[in-house]
Structure 1
Amino acid sequence: MNTPYYAVIFSSVLTEATEGYETMAEKMVALAQQQPGFIGLESARSEIGITVSYWKDLESIALWKQNWEHLQAQQQGRELWYAKYAVRIVRVEREYHFER
């Protein structure tokens, strides 16, 4: 990825009521991938879940946040699935990689 770009870091703890969560998460990934400015996504879940999505600019992030289907998923998340969550938006100035 060419720097700079932005990362949205979403960390969460689920409630015990997780029915439908995985389906919605997959739907949101597919929808995010269609959004202008979307670059990529990484996700892991254990005791806490962490999803990092990468975006070209802050405007792209703002548009994603206001996407109607995404807003509906956010509401369901607060009502059903999340015990707590945090969202952090950061500007990535540089990056480096290792791969075997």
Structure 2
Amino acid sequence: MILVVFRSRFSDDVDGSYDTTERHLAQKVRELAGDDLVHLKNYRSEDGERLALVWWRSAESLEKWRNDTEHQDAQRRGKERWYSFYELSVAEVTRTSSSEDEAAYPSE
């Protein structure tokens, strides 16, 4: 399993186009990845930092998403306009333990 961790902070130039784009791409990634997208969670801290956590079953699906032209366009707009700070980390999950159904978190 692959975990993508995306931290960000909005710039003063962020506007409604961010929310529209985020909603559209969240739906698109679910359609594109299907069952390979395990979880997609977004959080915001009191100081305004944002955190997105995305669990993927395969590197191949993540690579497809990485190369999606709409996603790449949103990344460009994020760098140029929406974010004053961002950090992206991609990690391979070697083990997961959960109180939830084992099928939801298959071990690798």
TM-score bracket relative to the smaller structure: 0.7 to 0.9
Deviation at 1:23, TM superposition (A): 1.3
Aligned to 2:13: 17
Which blocks of at least 5 consecutive residues in structure 1 are unaligned?
Answer: none
In structure 2, distance between residues paired with 1:33 and 1:83: 27
In structure 2, distance between residues paired with 1:64 and 1:40: 15
Aligned ranges 1:7-86 → 2 under 5 Å: 7-19=3-15, 20-36=17-33, 37-46=36-45, 47-86=48-87
Structure 1 SS opposite 2:87: strand
Runs of 4+ in structure 1 over 6 Å off: none
What TM-score do you get using the length of structure 2 for normalisation? 0.79
More helix by share: 2
CA RMSD of aligned residues (A): 1.5
Aligned-residue identity in percent: 23
Aligned to 1:95: 97
What TM-score do you get using the length of structure 1 for normalisation? 0.85
> Which structure has the larger Rg?
2
Deviation string for 1:3-56 (max 9, x for gaps)? xx1111110011011111111111111111112322220101231110011111
In structure 1, distance between residues paired with 2:72 and 2:42: 20
In structure 1, distance between residues paired with 2:97 and 2:10: 30
